[in-house]
Structure formats: C-alpha cells, structure tokens
Structure 1
Amino acid sequence: MTNVFDAFSGTDDALYGPLPDPAADAGFAGDHPKRVGFFTDTSVCIGCKACEVACKEWNLVPNDGTDASDLYRLTGMSYDNTGDLGASTWRHVAFIEDVRPHNTATTGHLPSALPAVSGGPVPGLPRDAATAPPGPGGSSSGTIDLLALLPDSGAHGQQTPDDERDVRWLMSSDVCKHCTHAGCLDNCPTGALFRTEFGTVVVQDDICNGCGYCVPSCPYGVIDVRESDGGAHKCTLCYDRLGSGLEPACAKACPTNSIQFGDLDELQATADARLAELHGLGVEEAQLYGRNPDDGVGGDGAFFLLLDEPEVYGLPPDPIVTTRDLPEMWRNAALTAVGLGVAAVASFWPGRAKRRVRGGTRR
C-alpha cells in the first residue's frame, strides 16, 4: 500500500496522476482480478432506459421521489424524467435535445450500426434533415428527417419555425465513473467507501454515517445522501454480481450494446477502435471522455464515447480529484507553521545585556 509520506512528498501517485493498478495500491495481492469497468458508446444509445430499470430492480434502489406526490419526478422538459445521478438514481439516461438556429448545429450523424431510413438522397428533403455518414466513395448512405419526429404543437417549447432551426438528439447513459483517484473514497472519514479487488469503488451501507463529506469530493457530482435513510449511495458496478462471475445488470439489459462491460484494458482498445471508425466515417466531433490516464482523476473506470463536447452532456470538461492539491497544501501549511515558530522564538529569545555608560559607570 502507498506510503502516506511518499504521497505528500510528491514521489508517489497515490493522490493524483496515472496509477496502473488501483487495487494493488489499495492493498490487494498481485493475483487479484483484472480491473473491470464500463465503456458507454453514446452513438448507439437509443434512450430506452432498460439500464435504469435493471439497475433499480437488481440493487433494490428506491424510486427517485421523496413521497407519493413526487414519485416519478417528471421534469416537464423532456423525456429525461430523472434529471441527474443521485442517491436513488445510479444510472441516468440523459436526453439532450440540441436545438439551434439553422446552420449553427453540428451535423447529426446516424450511428453506423443503425440503418438509415432511406437508401439514398430523397427528392425535396427538408434542409434540416440529418445526413448519415458518407459511404464508400463519398456517397451518402441515407438520410432521416429529425424535425418530422417532433410534434407540431410546440411541445418542446421551441418558438422558431421548423425551417429555421436544426435539431439533433443526443442520448447517453451516465453512471459513477469509478475513478482511479476517487475523491469520495479519499475523504471518507469512516472507511465506508473502499476500493474492491476489481478496482471499483463501493459504499458499505452499514458503516456510512451520512456525514456527506463524499458529496462535494466527487468532481462529477455522482454520489449523494439519501433522505430516507441518511446514507450515501451510488453505483457499485454490481459488486455482488462480479463476485459470481456475472456482468452488471445495466450492461446485461442494454439492447444495443451501448453499455459494454469487461476488463478495462480491453474496453479501452475497443473504444480506440470505435473512435477511429467514427472519425473515418466523417464524425470528427466524436471523442473519448474519461479514457486518458493523465487527466485530473487518473482516468476513469467507466468512460464514454461522446458525439459532442462534454459540457453538452452535462459533464465537467476537466474533472480534477479534490485531493490532488493536498500535498502542496500541507507542505505550504508546514512551511507557514515553521516560519511562525521561528518568528515566535526569535521574539522571545533573550538578547545580550545592554551595556550603558553613564558618568563613567558601566551597567
């Protein structure tokens, strides 16, 4: 296990930076299982919410409301009825309706794994239709009119006429990132949060005292305290299923394989190949999020392929573990304490007796 003095001296990566094996750093023997995680490919997410339902059913997560009148917490803004991750929402399917003035939105490419509505250009196609990625030889493989899917009643709250706006749907199933450097774990005073042999981060309900220190420590705003029991809760990556050789419930239920589970190194290779495929199809805005081990949390155990900037999905563009600056803070505090101590000693140190000569007499 990491020596705390090495961490604060800056000679170890216990609090920030790349960490090849978080489980070994937590004290597990070298023969522990390989690190596992999630790769969520948002380009094939259809927003069905099967992952949300499977997560709640398997983990017995209560409804998102606090009472019967708030049972489903309908936002009234979109099909996204949960709004965000929380103590009772361990999987959150985000529905992003990207509506902008015409010619200002990024082209909404159809995922290559899904068929286009038609086999080629359609005469008289509205100019707001999203086009599929170019096929071999630069020809379009098909088109689909996104605006035709919207109701004419203005239920989406848009005041701009249909022919003056561009609309694109983005969907993504968000989850706890199981960070390499988990601020929630580092700041837990009771040890309720711990690193498993699979490299994941889990809350022990019977040890958590509900202090809430973990909540502001998470750079993603994932973990939260549940009002009904006073404890902190978040995704466990189905720790009980992992111990039995089963994949997490959400990945098992995903019908499009948008949520992929497996050894983290294999998932990273799969994600790199998928990103290269999308770039080759002309989807230049596609990017991986949480894949980089040199980012502010040392890379995530659950990472994503996004079709736009992280902010569009409600994700922080540059997450940083809250303990990253602890070594420097403590070093500065120590230097300040030493300086104050030296000043205090100097102010009370007995000086040499002053000698005065008055009328030929020395004192």
Structure 2
Amino acid sequence: MAERMGFFTDSSVCIGCKACEVACKEWNQLPDDGFVFEATSYDNTGMLGASTWRHVAFIEQAHEVSVHGDDGVDRWLMSSDVCKHCTNAACLDVCPTGALFRTEFGTVVVQPDICNGCGYCVPACPFGVIDRREDDGRAWKCTMCYDRQRGGLEPACAKACPTDSIQFGPLDELRERAEDRLARLHADGHDEARLYGENPDDGVGGAGAFFLLLDEPEVYGLPPDPVATTRDLPAMWRWAGAAAVSLAGAVAVAFLGSRGRGSAS
C-alpha cells in the first residue's frame, strides 16, 4: 500500500472564497444544488451532500461589547468541510455490496457502479457526510480525487485553494505541520485554536481529513466527540454467536429428552 495521504484544513487562513467548492464540482462533474439562496447567510450550498463534496461554511459571531462601550465587532469563521476518510470508517463496515472500499492511499471511496442505493452508509456516518441523490438513489461523497492521486496530482480543492488553507500530503507530515501551526497560534495568543480529527485515539481512529479550528467543534457543526457507529459490532457478533450456540444446545437437549421419553413409553 502507498503512503497514507490526507487533508489538513487550516480554517484560520480560510477566506471563504469557495474556490475549493467550484474546483471540486468542476473536476468531478457534480450537478448544481438548485441555486437555492440561503437568505440568512452568504453560504449558497448549505451543507455537504451528494452533489457538494466540499462545503465552505460561513459562521458569523458577534463579540461582546467592550468595557469602553464600543459596539461589538462581528467575527467571521470560515471552514471548508469535507469527508473525514476515517480510519475506522463505519460506512465501509455496513456496505453490503462492497461499493465502499479503502484505496491504496488510505482513503474511502464509493464505487457508483456497484452501489445499489440501500442507504445503510448514510446513517452510519457519524459526521453526516454521505448522502444519496434523489434521481438514482445511489450514495456519493468526496473521493479525495482518487483519480488525480493515481495520476500523481493533488486533489482539485487543494490545488485551487489560494491561501493554502487546504493542504494535501502524507498524513504523518500533515499532522506534524498542524502541530507546529497550532503552537504558533497559541504563542500569538489564540488560545481558542485547536486541532480536530488528528488524534488516532479518538472515536474514529483518527481522520484522514482533519482541521484546525478557532472555536469549539459544535460552532462549525461538527460533533465534539465523534464515534464510529459500528464500534460495538464485534462484541455484538460475539454475543449473537454465543446466544446461537446456547440456543442450539438447548434445542438439542430438548430434542434428545423428548426422544428418551418416547423410547421409555
């Protein structure tokens, strides 16, 4: 297997230009989202979905009024969200057809020609990333531009990002780079900065796409403690197996007992 590749998205330098969204749609030939204007936001796509594999969220925050009585200054947080390509990917665990698979780069990809539209992967994702298209029912999500990676190219979103907010490369190197960036921000007084999804010991085994955030995950619409929804499956299968053996034993005892009573009569 090739070296595991991933995304490090540094929201502290994201300017909300949505170049990543446009590049993603153009390269992957994704349909539009109906051009529905979100009247309460500059965000025109709303969320990740079957036709939006990169989504830049606009989060407006009002600061408290200062002690001098000055008006509060609004702060805009930008975050380019994407599939996390989890180490412990629940979507992969529940797919009955093998449409979802782990690539040689460690990413998780849906094969649309194999997907039967069962939808099991949709509720399995702890981040609500995967979605199905209404026209054919099949599931779709970010592939981290698997076709481009196989050709030695970086994903379209990272290529188009003008501020290097989206960085692509070997996952271990990205984690080191992210730790250095976080340390610099903390040294500059940005104590609220934090990494999200970089820890291999978290509930999904670490993400292949992780983030530097300037506030709590919930502010960005991210679960604070994501957990692979299939983490208990091995224990459940063991319990089911033990129950089946016990049931079979009870049936056998009852059957032999009934035969013994029949012979005695």
TM-score by length of 1: 0.68
* Structure 2 partner of 1:111: none
* Aligned-partner SS, 1:300: coil
* Structure 2 partner of 1:226: 133
* Aligned mate of 2:51, from 76, 88, 101: 88
The one-letter code matched in structure 2 to 1:82 is: T
| 1-structure distance, mates of 2:79, 2:233 | 33
Does structure 1 residue 321 correspond to structure 2 residue 228? yes
Superposed, 1:1-363 pairs within 5 Å as 32-65=1-34, 72-99=35-62, 102=65, 126=70, 128=72, 146=73, 167-347=74-254, 349-350=256-257
Structure 1 unmatched runs, 5+: 1-31, 66-71, 104-123, 129-145, 147-166, 354-363
> How many angstroms does 1:337 deviate by?
2.6
> How many angstroms does 1:343 deviate by?
3.9
> How many angstroms does 1:227 deviate by?
1.1
| 2-structure distance, mates of 1:257, 1:269 | 16
Q: Kindly, what percent of the aligned residue pairs are identical?
A: 71
| 2-structure distance, mates of 1:102, 1:228 | 49
* Aligned-partner SS, 1:126: coil
| 1-structure distance, mates of 2:156, 2:164 | 13
| 1-structure distance, mates of 2:254, 2:169 | 64
TM-score by length of 2: 0.92
Flag the 1:348–1:231 CA change in 2: closer, same or farther, 3 A: closer
> How many angstroms does 1:323 deviate by?
1.7
Asked if 1 retains the 8 angstrom alpha-carbon contact of 2:99 and 2:115, the reply is: yes
> How many angstroms does 1:57 deviate by?
0.5
| 1-structure distance, mates of 2:62, 2:116 | 44
The one-letter code matched in structure 2 to 1:270 is: R
The one-letter code matched in structure 2 to 1:182 is: A
Asked if 1 retains the 8 angstrom alpha-carbon contact of 2:89 and 2:204, the reply is: yes
Q: Which has the larger radius of gyration?
A: 1
The one-letter code matched in structure 2 to 1:217 is: A
Structure 2 unmatched runs, 5+: none
* Aligned-partner SS, 2:84: coil
Aligned-residue CA RMSD in angstroms?
2.1
> How many angstroms does 1:125 deviate by?
9.2
Asked if 1 retains the 8 angstrom alpha-carbon contact of 2:65 and 2:71, the reply is: no
> How many angstroms does 1:339 deviate by?
3.3
> How many angstroms does 1:340 deviate by?
3.2
Flag the 1:126–1:182 CA change in 2: closer, same or farther, 3 A: same
Paired residue total: 260
Flag the 1:246–1:212 CA change in 2: closer, same or farther, 3 A: same
| 2-structure distance, mates of 1:342, 1:202 | 43
| 2-structure distance, mates of 1:312, 1:95 | 11
Deviation digits for residues 90-112 of structure 1, max 9, x if unmatched? 00000111236547xxxxxxxxx
